[in-house]
Amino acid sequence: MRRVSGLMVLAAILCAVGLGCAPAVHPVEDLSSASSTAATSSAVNISATPVSDVGSSLRLAAGDVFEIRQTLPGGGIFSHDVVAPIRGTRLVTLTDFSPTSHVTLSWSALGDDLQHPATASGNVDQVNVLNSHEVLLPLLWTSASQAWTRSTSGIWLSSDVFQEFTHTHQASIDLGFSDPRVQEVLAAWPQGEASLQHIRALADAASNHQVDVSSWTVDGKAHRATVEVNGKSEQLSVLEAHSWFGDMTILDDAANPLIIRLTLKQGGVNWFDFQIDHLIVSGFTH
């Protein structure tokens, strides 16, 4: 794994607790206006197809796989040094997928993966996709067993959160920064605890100015994103959510509200980025 100075590790970890300096990503398009029906060079014009029909065509099941790409920007809040971003990729395999109930997955690093060596692997057991309001950033997945992750919804929205977005366009989502168990994970890395304390200080300062940092909103518009599914670029219906912490792109599908991208940023500085691509799934139809 690429070596970074103590200062850069501190900056990188802060990024990681949140998405930035990501590799080139597929655009998310707003389909709510006539102008948006003109597709970009990398997107297919699907304006004749109801967006909700597109999103509902992707079904996950045990045995399906996808990649998670994570990026820590070079530099960051604590450093203005210009260095190359640190990237990592994990291969994720679903071992149990029960919509609106629970999900279990296994993962393995594809090459050096941020804080994990190339041989790292692990499991995330039975995350709660029914009613949890806390997600679990991939950065916090460890090779050791983490029973407490069952109180989170992993990298999905729970059914309750998705329904709140659908009906009120607003929901509370906890990124786990105040969870003492997250502090234990970060404390295992150089300067990890200090980085977490700084993030908490930023959030506390915002809260003191009547900012609800856990509140996420969607604009109620129809969006689509290009994702590689079974070797081909496909258009999927997505929700775009925003909060004080950053931006989130979620599949617009009540049975599979998978977070396909999360970017955490503050003050114009990106902290951390993860995105999902290269899905190999059995349940995809046009």
Q: Could you read off the pLDDT of 152-172 as tens digits, one per residue?
A: 999 999 999 999 999 999 999
In a domain, 155, yes or no: yes
pLDDT at 264: 84
Integer Cα distance of 101 and 154 in angstroms: 12
pLDDT in tens, 121-145: 999 999 999 999 999 988 788 888 7
Which residue carries 């150089």 as its tokens? 190
- Indicate the SS3 state at residue 86: strand
In a domain, 1, yes or no: no
pLDDT over 90 for what percent of the chain? Answer: 43
Is 60 exceeded by the pLDDT of residue 117?
A: yes
pLDDT at 199: 76
Q: What is the value of pTM for the model shown?
A: 0.78
Cα angle value 32/228/58 (rounded, 5°):
70
Q: Which of 87, 88, 126, 86 is nearest to 106 (CA)?
A: 126
Is 50 exceeded by the pLDDT of residue 39?
A: no
Integer Cα distance of 156 and 153 in angstroms: 6
pLDDT over 70 for what percent of the chain? Answer: 67
Least confidently predicted of 61-65, 91-95, 179-183, 249-253: 179-183
The mean per-residue pLDDT over the stretch 186-213 comes to: 77
Query: Residue 186's domain spans which residues?
Result: 6-284
In a domain, 261, yes or no: yes
Q: Choose from 9-18, 46-55, 84-93 the range with maximum mean pLDDT.
A: 84-93
Which amino acid does the sequence have at 130? L
Per DSSP (E only), the strands in the chain are 28-30, 58-59, 65-72, 86-98, 102-109, 121-128, 170-172, 215-218, 223-229, 232-242, 246-251, 259-266, 269-280, 283-284
Count how many domains the chain has.
Answer: 1
